Each structure stands twice: as structure tokens, then as C-alpha cells.
Amino acid sequence: MIVLHALLKLAPGALPRFEELLEAVVPPSRAEEGCLSYRVYRSLESPDEVVFVEEWKSQAALDLHFGTPHFRAYDQAVRAQLAAPPAIRVYQAASWRDL
């Protein structure tokens, strides 16, 4: 399993537009065959920070997600809503015995 964390710092006043973008990307992403979980969380300490926590069956499934029309449209549109580039980390889930 692949786990993706994407931390985004929104520009001041960008939250309403960002929420519109979420409406267009979250439901179809969750419906993708390789998606196990796709959630977005807003920071309690910093309301302009959000984090995507996604779980995918494989790296191939995540790569397919990045090529979908809904993700590509979101990716282009969200750039104007950010105060800084996103911090993205991708992890390979493993058994504790494998660490």
C-alpha cells in the first residue's frame, strides 16, 4: 500500500475557492479503483493549512490518479490558491517486521 501526505498552505482568503476545488476532486478520487482512502484535514492551529492523507493499493494506482482529468484540473487550479508549494511525502506501508 502507498500512503501520500500532501501539506498545503492556502493563501489568505483562498479557503472558499479551495473548498470548491475539493468538491470536484474528492468524490471522483474516492471512486477510483485503486483508492483505499482519500481524506482532507484542516489544521486546528493554522486554519489555512490542510493536509491530504491518501491510501492507494499501489504506486501504479497513484500514478493513474495523477493522470485523471479530475486531478489534473484540480492540480492546475489549486496552484493559484496556495501561499507556498505543497510539501508532499509518499510512503510505502510495511509491516513493522519489515522496518
pTM: 0.90
DSSP 4: E
Rounded to a whole number, what is the distance in angstroms from the first to the last CA of the chain?
15
Q: Which CATH class is domain 2-93?
A: alpha beta
Taking only the tens place, the pLDDT of each residue in 18-75 is 999 999 999 999 999 999 999 999 999 998 999 999 999 999 999 999 999 999 999 9
Domain boundaries, the chain: 2-93
C-alpha cell read off for 24: 470536484
Q: Please state, in angstroms and rounded to a whole number, the distance separating the CA atoms of residues 5 and 39.
A: 10
